[in-house]
Amino acid sequence: MKNRLKLIILSLLSLVTLSSCQDVGEYISESITKKLVPNLGSFLTQLAALIVLIIGVIVLGYKPIKKMLNKRQDYIESNIKEAGEKNKEAEINLKQSREHVLSCQKQAEEIIFEAKKQANLERATILEDTQKDVEEMKETAKKQIKESEEEAKENIRKEMINVALNASSELLKRNVNDKDNERLVDDFIKGIDS
């Protein structure tokens, strides 16, 4: 019940307030109408100022900004195009570099192969020359040995002849002539060789 009573009191107060506000409401609506619809001179002045302001913004602000933005766009597009060209050029250079490296590797392999081949040829030549030298040394040594043997045989033969002559002179107590000496020596040597 208290709530109802409060509601009734509030409703009465609202009605009283509304009746006094009616005068105020008329004043406010007149003020709002004057503010919403200005006088014609003021309106035209404000409209002219707005048009001048829009033209100023377009001429002083929009066109230079648009021109600057277009330049910036052209600069960025040219940089992108240049970067694309440089990228293609770099790819071509990379491909050429790879081909050059492969070519150099092939040349190096060929050089190494040729060097090994040349080294093997030189080794074979050196071995062949060494073998020839060894064979020549053997032949020379054989000749020297044979000559030494012949010389030794000749020396032994002469020594044997001298011994045989001395022995035969002693035995015969006479001098034997050269023919007899040679015959005796030859017989003696034949006897030794057999």
Is 161's pLDDT higher than 80? no
Distance separating alpha carbons of residues 179 and 185, to the nearest angstrom:
10
More confident residue, 176 or 149: 149
What one-character DSSP code corresponds to residue 168?
H
Residue 78: pLDDT band (50, 70, 90) is: very high
- What distance in Å separates the CA atoms of residue 191 and residue 39, rounded to the nearest whole number? 175
Three-class secondary structure assignment of 17-73: HHHHHHHHHHHHHHHHHHHHCCCHHHHHHHHHHHHHHHHHHHHHHHHHHHHHHHHHH
Please tell me the pTM assigned to this model: 0.37
For residues 81 and 70, what is the distance between their CA atoms, to the nearest angstrom?
16
pLDDT at 20 over 60: no
Check residues 113 and 16 and name the one with the higher pLDDT. Answer: 113
pLDDT attached to residue 57: 80
State yes or no: pLDDT of 29 exceeds 60: no
Specify the pLDDT at position 74: 92
pLDDT at 77: 92
pLDDT at 73: 92
Decide if pLDDT at 22 tops 70. no
**How do residues 133-152 score in pLDDT, each as one tens digit?**
888 988 898 888 888 888 88
